[in-house]
Amino acid sequence: MPLTVLSHSQLHSLLLSLTADEIVSIQQNIAEALREYSTGSQDQGCSASYQPRRTAITRQNGCTTLFMPATTGQTLGIKMISLEDGDAAGSAVESGLDSSEMAGAVDGHRARSGPRDSTTSLSSSQSDESSTSIDESNDRSSFLPSASVNDRGLSETMGAWPSAGSRDTSPKGSVMLLDTEGLPFGLINAQELTAFRTALAALLLFRKRNRVRTITVFGAGRQAYWHIRLALILRGSDIKRVYIFNRSFERAVALLRDIYSPENSSWRGDVKFTALSNDFIEYQRILTQAVRKSDAIFCCTPSIEPLFPHELLTSKEGRRKGRFISAVGSYKPHMAELHPEILKDEVTVPPPHRHFHHHTTPSGVVVVDSLGAAMKEAGEIIQADIKPHQVVELGELMMVRDAQRGDPTTDDPDTPRGREEKNLLKWIQKGNVIYKSVGLGLMDVVAGGGLVALAGQRGVGTLIADF
C-alpha cells in the first residue's frame, strides 16, 4: 500500500499552490461532511454518532497527547497532537454531557421543533431589507428539521482538550489517514492543516455575505494568515481594507511582510492593510473605528479576555449593520475572544413588532461547528450561558440548504417554505452571524484526504511505495 507523507514544509508548499477552484472543492467537501455529521445516520459514515470519543495520555514530563479519531465513511483518520499541558501523568477518555443536560437539550428541542417538512421560522414581516431576524413567535431553531443534531444526544466533543492551566502554544502532531480496508495512505503534519481547514470551514458562510469590503483580524499567527489568504482568494475583488490587531507588533509586521512578498501579489490585489499592536498610542481609537466599519471580524487568538468592548457591537450605533464574526482562537472554557454580552445580545430576540429602523435585529442563534463541543469547551458560549436551543450547527444550515434544493415551494415567496428560504438567505447574507468553532477531527480527515490526492497529482510529498 503506497503511503504519502506530507511534512510541514511540503504541506505548506502544497497549500500555497492551491488554485481557487481546488480550495472551493475542498471547502465543499468539508461542507458536505459537516452536513452528514449534524444530520446523518451511522450508515452514512460521518454522522456525529459515528465519531469515536477522544482519549489522552499524559506522561511524567507533563506532556499530554490527544488521540482524536474520525471517519467520513470512506476514510478513517486519527489526529494526534501534543501539548505541554502540565497535568498529572495518566490516561483519560473523553466523557459527554451528563444525563440531565442531554435530556434537557434533547427534550427541549423536540418540544419546539416541527416535522421535517415544516421549517418556517425566519420572519418575513421585516420591511427593512438591511435587517434580519428569526421570528420570536416561532422557535428560534425551528427552521431546522426535527431530525437534527439535538435529537441524537450530546456525548461527543471533538475540539482541543488541554486543561485550563496549559500553555497556549500551537499543538504539534500529525494526522494519519486510512482507507476502507484500514490501510494507511496518508500521514500529514497537523499544524498547518489545522489552521487551513479551520479557516476554510469558517469561510463557508463568509462566502455568502453580500458585503465584505472591510475586514478586521485579531491575531497574526497561522490561523490569521489563512483566514486572510483564503478570504482574499475567495472574495478578493470585494475586499478593500484589512485591519490586523495583535499584541506583538513584530509578529504583525512579519505577517504583513509575508502578505506583501512578491509571490503573493496574485491574491493580495490592491487591498490596503493596517497593522497595530496595543501599545500604539492611537490603538483604542483605531480599534473602535475598525470594528464599527467592519463587515467581517476574524478572531484568531487564544485570548482569555475579550478582544474589544462589547458596546462596539451591542450599542445602538453598533447595531446599524450586520456582520459576520468568526471566533476560532479560544478553545477552553476560561478563554473568550468575544465578550459574553455580544452572544447574549445576539440570542435575545425582542418581542414581535418591536423593530428599530436601520438596525439589525438579533438572530436568536449562534452558529457552531459541533454543539457538543461548543457547550463544553467554547468559553464565550459557556460564559454567556447560551442554551442548546440557541445554538445551530453549521452542518444543519448545510442540511437546510440541501433539503430545499429543487423544491419549487422555496422559489415562491408567497409560500411558507419560500418565505423561510428568503429570510434564511437574508440572514446569512446581511444579518449578524456569529460562528464559534473549537475544531472537529472530521475536518482534518476530509481536508487531509483531498490534499493527499492533490499531492499525488503534483508530485509533492514523500511517497513510500511499499509501506
Radius of gyration of the chain (CA): 22
Cell of 401: 440548504
Number of H helices, E strands in the chain: 15, 16
Paired sense of beta strands 391-393 and 214-218, if any = unpaired
Report yes or no: 311 and 104 within 8 Å, Cβ to Cβ: no
- Residue 279's pLDDT band, with cuts at 50, 70 and 90, is confident
| Cα 433 to chain centroid, rounded | 11
Residue with cell 425582542: 350
Mapping DSSP onto H, E and C, the string for 32-43 reads HHHHHHHHCCHH
Q: Residue 383 pLDDT > 60, yes or no?
A: yes
Segment (H or E) for 463: strand 462-464
Q: Is the pTM of this model over 0.75?
A: yes
| 247-276 pLDDT, tens digit each | 989 999 999 999 999 999 989 989 999 999
Q: Residue 155 pLDDT > 70, yes or no?
A: no
| Positive/negative CA dihedral, 200, 202, 208, 209 | negative
pLDDT at 64: 82
pLDDT at 134: 34
- Residue 412's pLDDT band, with cuts at 50, 70 and 90, is low
Length of the chain: 467
Burial 358-378 (b: 16+ CB within 10 A, else e): ebbbbbbbbbbbbbbbbbbbb
Paired sense of beta strands 433-436 and 391-393, if any = unpaired
For 182-219, the DSSP string reads S-EEEEEEHHHHHHHHHHHHHHHHHTT-S--SEEEEE-
pLDDT at 142: 37
Give the whole-angstrom CA distance, residue 429 versus residue 435. 14
pLDDT at 126: 33
Q: What are the DSSP E strand ranges found in 147-189?
A: 172-178, 184-189
Across the range 309-338, mean pLDDT stands at 91
pLDDT at 118: 29
Range of weakest confidence among 111-125, 158-172, 356-370: 111-125
Report yes or no: 33 and 443 within 8 Å, Cβ to Cβ: yes
Quickly count: other Cβ atoms within 10 Å of residue 300's Cβ.
30
Give the whole-angstrom CA distance, residue 330 versus residue 333. 8
The partner residues of 56 in beta bridges, in order of sequence, read: 66, 92
| 14-42 pLDDT, tens digit each | 999 999 999 999 999 999 999 999 887 66
Nearest one of 396, 453, 64, 345 to 204, comparing CA atoms: 396
pLDDT at 259: 94
Cell of 329: 482562537
More confident residue, 163 or 104: 163
Residue with cell 475572544: 337
**Residue 255 in 3-state DSSP?**
helix
Residue 10's identity, in one-letter code, is Q
* Long-range contacts, 15-22 (Cβ 8 Å, 24+): 15/192, 15/196, 15/451, 16/263, 17/458, 17/460, 18/454, 20/233, 20/234, 22/454
The phi, psi pair for 181, rounded to 5°, reads: -95, 5
Q: What is the largest CA-CA distance in the chain?
A: 68
| Cα 82 to chain centroid, rounded | 22
Report yes or no: 256 and 273 within 8 Å, Cβ to Cβ: yes
Quickly count: other Cβ atoms within 10 Å of residue 163's Cβ.
14
Report yes or no: 327 and 338 within 8 Å, Cβ to Cβ: yes
Residues 6+ apart with CB under 8 A from 371: 105, 149, 150, 154, 388, 391, 393
Where exactly are the structural domains of the chain?
Answer: 3-84+172-177+188-462
> First vs last Cα of the chain: how many Å apart?
6
Report yes or no: 47 and 55 within 8 Å, Cβ to Cβ: no
The phi, psi pair for 363, rounded to 5°, reads: -80, -25
pLDDT at 82: 86
pLDDT at 60: 87
pLDDT at 394: 93
Share of the chain above pLDDT 70, in %: 76
Tell me which architecture the domain covering 3-84+172-177+188-462 has in CATH.
3-Layer(aba) Sandwich (3.40)
| 58-98 pLDDT, tens digit each | 888 888 888 989 999 889 999 998 877 666 778 878 765 43
| 413-453 pLDDT, tens digit each | 566 666 777 888 889 999 999 999 988 889 999 999 999 99
